[in-house]
Amino acid sequence: MTMKKITVKLNGAEHSAEVEPRLLLVHLIRENLNATGTHIGCDTSNCGACTILLNGKSVKSCTVLAVQADGKEITTVEGLATAEGLHPLQEGFKENHGLHCGFCTPGMMLRAVELLENNPNPTEEEIRWGISGNLCRCTGYNNIVKAIQYAGAKIRGDELPSTEPEFV
Amino acid sequence: MIPANFDYSAPSTLDEALSLLQEHGDEAKILAGGHSLIPMMKLRFASPAHLIDINNIPDLSSIKEEGDSFHLGAMTRESDVEHSEALTGAFPIFADVTKLIADPQVRNMGTIGGNLAHGDAANDHPAVMMALNASVEITGPEGTRTVGIDEFFFGFYMTAVQPNEILTGISIPKQRGKVGSAYHKAERKVGDYATAGVAVQIATDADGKCTYAGIGLTNVNAVPMRAKRSEEALVGSDLSDELIAQAAMMASEDCNPSADLRGDEEYKRHLVKVITKRMIHKAIQRAK
Ligand SMILES: Cc1cc2nc3c(=O)[nH]c(=O)nc-3n(C[C@H](O)[C@H](O)[C@H](O)COP(=O)(O)OP(=O)(O)OC[C@H]3O[C@@H](n4cnc5c(N)ncnc54)[C@H](O)[C@@H]3O)c2cc1C
Ligand code: FES
Ligand code: FES
């Protein structure tokens, strides 16, 4: 078995590593590059906790080999905020109580980045289908949907929806 | 879970990939989207000694309309199929099926070629390709050959693709007349394989007479299955409600579902009957 030398750009910074071909991308990110914001939930491509952007596309990094990311750009939750402040999705999750334990949140937000890029003004149904590969054990999803609607409005420059909690 | 050790190559041409396959024989496996293969390698259901990653080969990923057919490159992702207006416009069945395959992240990786080459009757594209009467392009050391979809699936994880060959494309003929298509599968939750699924394409002439009927069934037989008797009953008919109900009944009789966590045999036959009937009606409604 031959080691492979790969180079990836993680959140804008270039890194090289010598890896076994069987190393999973999520382990490269968490263990070799020490970016532990990306979580491992199921390890079986079901839960979406490990979702990152690979060249702008949301993928489950527990089911991609690190060698497949050679020469590519990776965005993780650590890459969302900028010097100007939180990413609209981070602000949306914060304002709308879009998280409880936070385990699903990084994957949920990275998935939502691509969702809003493809469709800046999604309906509630489109959001629910759009995050159908991400499981949340805590929130019941309603506040996640609101958080994504809030981020969409912010990105479009529209009036922000109310963040008053709903009591039912 | 981490796969067992293997060597890895990522050739940038098809010729290079073919000679690597030749060199490593059945020790090697092609890596397409990896979303069936990597889970299997993690579970040690597959332990190839060599992976040949074909993601860096240009030209394998495209959707082209060529005269009276559509051509899909093997590495076309599910998400490309889902978002191709040309393809989903001509064949709305592709909008139906992609939405029901796994989830957006899996669809960003999974390829249409891999979905067929995997040779799993639980996958959704085999039934769709049967309904559309597609043919599969397979390239090997001797060149490219074309195999009809009915000669493609051999058995569990076995297809017409030989160890020294690569599935390179899929060709879908456009039927004449008014043509409509539809797919639905019953699934327990998003990301689950079908409890039962049915793909239908119907074409009619100017008088409303059925000139083509393609019906493929998902996950109710050991290999992907065509509902032949149902198709034959429809072709040449005026597609009356009564005949459609009969064709749906035939599909439920002819399939061979096995009982599992998704349901018992009787339940699955019932699903095949109901979904076949609905998809025939939907395909007719959509015909244009
Ligand atoms: C959570 C989850 C849910 C899923 N749900 C569904 C579902 O509902 N319906 C469904 O249909 N699928 C489902 N899948 C499977 C998914 O669609 C896979 O992507 C698909 O089955 C295989 O395509 P791939 O490109 O990922 O192929 P890979 O995993 O890379 O390859 C699969 C097999 O085919 C071979 N192969 C691939 N491409 C070629 C080629 N061009 N030439 C020769 N051999 C080739 C490989 O060697 C391997 O043996 C799911 C997967 C996951 C992880
Ligand atoms: S850890 Fe990757 S999908 Fe759950
Ligand atoms: S906030 Fe706990 S899993 Fe989603």
Most B CBs within 10 Å, among A50, A52, A132, A135, to test the B interface: A132
Ligand nearest to the CA of A108: 3
Residues 6 or more apart whose CB falls under 8 angstroms from that of B111 comprise B32, B33, B61, B74, B75, B76, B77, B78
Shortest alpha-carbon distance between residue A81 and chain B (Å): 22
Q: Each residue of B85-103: pLDDT tens digit?
A: 999 999 999 999 999 999 9
Nearest to B109 among A2, A59, A114 (CB): A59
Give the domain ranges of chain B: 7-53, 61-173, 178-286
**Interface membership of A119 toward B (CB under 8 Å):** no
Show the tokens assigned to A35.
């970016």
| Homologous superfamily of domain range B178-286 | CO dehydrogenase flavoprotein, C-terminal domain (3.30.390.50)
Most B CBs within 10 Å, among A26, A63, A70, to test the B interface: A63
Q: Into which CATH architecture does domain B7-53 fall?
A: 2-Layer Sandwich (3.30)
Mean pLDDT of the region B71-79: 98
Nearest to B105 among A2, A21, A133 (CB): A133
Indicate the CATH number of B61-173 among 3.40.190.10, 3.30.465.10, 3.40.50.300, 3.40.50.261: 3.30.465.10
Q: Each residue of A3-47: pLDDT tens digit?
A: 999 999 999 999 999 999 999 999 999 999 999 999 999 999 999
Half-sphere CA count of B212, side-chain side, radius 13 A: 21
Asked if B161 and B54 touch (Cβ cutoff 8 Å), the reply is no
- Gap between the Cα atoms of B25 and B22, Å rounded: 5
Predicted local distance difference test score (pLDDT) of residue B156: 86
Nearest to A2 among B7, B10, B83 (CB): B7
Lowest pLDDT segment from A113-117, B47-51, B189-193: B189-193
Sheet strand arrangement including B7-9:
B7-9, B50-53, B28-31
Mean pLDDT of chain B: 97
**Contact (CB<8Å) B34/A64:** yes
Return the ∠ at Cα A97 (arms to A95 and A102), rounded to 5°: 120
Domains of chain A as residue ranges with CATH:
4-79 (3.10.20.30), 88-156 (1.10.150.120)
**Contact (CB<8Å) B34/A111:** no
Show the tokens assigned to B232.
């034959």
Tell me the CA distances in angstroms from B230 to B22, B175, B205, one per residue in order.
42, 18, 19
Q: What is the pTM of this model?
A: 0.97
A21 neighbourhood in chain B, CB within 8 Å: 5-8, 51
Q: Which residues of chain A have pLDDT under 50?
A: none
